[in-house]
């Protein structure tokens, strides 16, 4: 079972205005890609999109699907690169409304579970940026179901493109289990309160699950980049502490402060990482 609509609302429908205060102006809610470490968050987010654009072998004529498109940050990037037609699916109504308000020519976004999505025509390329962590619950992982669930996802995605087409894929990862109670408790809090119903996959589960539908042509991890991204989100959010406490209450501020601080430590300590993969349909 994927995260339910209600669980997605907990994670993404807090308030668009709240997320605007600390994400970049384009509303990427996923790891940026820093190369030198001196880039701004905005530049590093574009660099992330550049990598996934190249991985998906997109050209302006490629009909492209972004699975789990968030507030449309990558769709906006595709539009900026001259891609004539790009589609997005998300489970969040607030995100979809935001995309429609952008009024991007050639961009279409709908609220739809990927499991129910039946496109009218084949896509030339697929992209998905940190959506797969919503597909398998901790309870299902405990029963050994994770790889099968991820494989169902990669199988379904493969039906939307022709053989030879590419998939620019990015996922947050869980690497190591903390050895101290505080970090364990903070990670459990993040999973239960901020992202209920989800679980970060392990790298080896993803590599196993793409088979037999996709070949992994390239793979890069970017743990340090996610640490820098979350540190910048935390810094920006803390700048608006008074406003957030006043508008949305102390609990929301404290929860997000704890969650983002936990993320910074999780990437520093190798509990979590992030992967980008170039996949080609077999």
Ligand X SMILES: C[S@@+](CC[C@H](N)C(=O)[O-])C[C@H]1O[C@@H](n2cnc3c(N)ncnc32)[C@H](O)[C@@H]1O
x-marked contacts with ligand X along 11-40 as a string, rule CB under 6 A:
-x---------------xxx----------
Instruction: Pick the closer one to ligand X by CB: 128 or 165.
Output: 128
200 burial level (CB within 10 Å; 0-12, 13-18, 19+): buried
Binding of ligand X at residue 114 (CB under 6 A)?
yes
Per DSSP, which regions of the chain are E strands? 64-67, 86-90, 107-111, 123-129, 161-174, 214-221, 272-281
**Contact window for ligand X (CB under 6 A) among 36-44, 52-60, 70-78, 161-169:** 70-78
Q: 3-class SS at 128?
A: strand
Q: Name which position in 53, 124, 130, 169 contacts ligand X (CB under 6 A).
A: 130
Among 79, 85, 134, 174, binds ligand X (CB under 6 A): 134
Closest distance to ligand X from the beta carbon of 86 (Å): 13
Q: Are the CB atoms for 149 and 202 separated by under 8 Å? A: no
Which residue has the closest beta carbon to ligand X? 70
Q: What phi and psi values does residue 216 have, to the nearest 5 degrees?
A: -80, 110
Q: Does 3 bind ligand X (CB under 6 A)?
A: yes
Does residue number 73 form part of the binding site for ligand X (CB under 6 A)? yes
Does residue 230 belong to the site contacting ligand X (CB under 6 A)? no
How far is 172 from 263, CA to CA, in rounded Å? Answer: 11
Inter-residue contact 267 to 176 (CB < 8 Å): no
User: Is residue 68 a contact partner of residue 11, using CB atoms and an 8 Å limit?
Assistant: no
Phi then psi dihedrals of residue 164, to 5 deg? 95, -20
Using CB under 6 A, which of the segments 126-134, 208-216, 218-226, 254-262 binds ligand X? 126-134
Rounded distance between C-alpha atoms, residue 242 and residue 195, angstroms: 24
* Residue of 32, 46, 109, 131 interacting with ligand X (CB under 6 A): 131
Site residues, ligand X (CB under 6 A): 2-3, 8, 12, 28-30, 68-70, 73-74, 89-92, 95, 113-114, 129-131, 134
């Amino acid at each position: 079972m994927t995260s339910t609509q209600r669980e997605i609302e907990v994670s993404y429908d807090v308030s668009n205005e709240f997320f605007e205060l600390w994400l970049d102006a384009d509303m990427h809610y996923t790891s940026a890609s820093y190369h030198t470490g001196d880039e701004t968050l905005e530049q590093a987010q574009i660099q992330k999109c550049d990598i996934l654009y190249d991985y998906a072998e997109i050209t302006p004529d490629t009909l492209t699907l972004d699975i789990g498109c968030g507030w449309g940050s990558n769709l906006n990037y595709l539009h900026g690169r001259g891609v004539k037609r790009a589609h997005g699916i998300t489970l969040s109504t607030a995100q979809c409304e935001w995309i429609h308000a952008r009024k991007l020519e050639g961009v279409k976004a709908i609220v739809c579970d990927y499991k129910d999505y039946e496109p009218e025509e084949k896509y030339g390329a697929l992209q998905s940026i940190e959506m797969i962590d919503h597909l398998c619950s901790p309870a299902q992982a405990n029963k050994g179901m994770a790889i099968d669930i991820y494989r169902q996802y990669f199988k379904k995605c493969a039906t939307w493109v022709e053989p030879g087409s590419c998939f620019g894929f990015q996922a947050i990862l869980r690497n190591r289990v903390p050895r101290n109670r505080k970090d364990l408790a903070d990670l459990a809090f993040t999973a239960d309160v901020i992202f209920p119903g989800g679980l970060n996959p392990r790298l080896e589960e993803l590599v196993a699950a793409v088979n037999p539908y996709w070949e992994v042509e390239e793979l890069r991890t970017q743990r340090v980049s996610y640490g820098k991204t979350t540190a910048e989100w935390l810094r920006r959010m803390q700048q608006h502490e008074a406003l957030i406490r006043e508008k949305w209450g102390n609990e929301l501020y404290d929860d997000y402060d704890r969650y983002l601080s936990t993320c910074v430590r999780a990437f520093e300590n190798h509990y979590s990482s992030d992967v980008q993969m170039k996949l080609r349909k077999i």
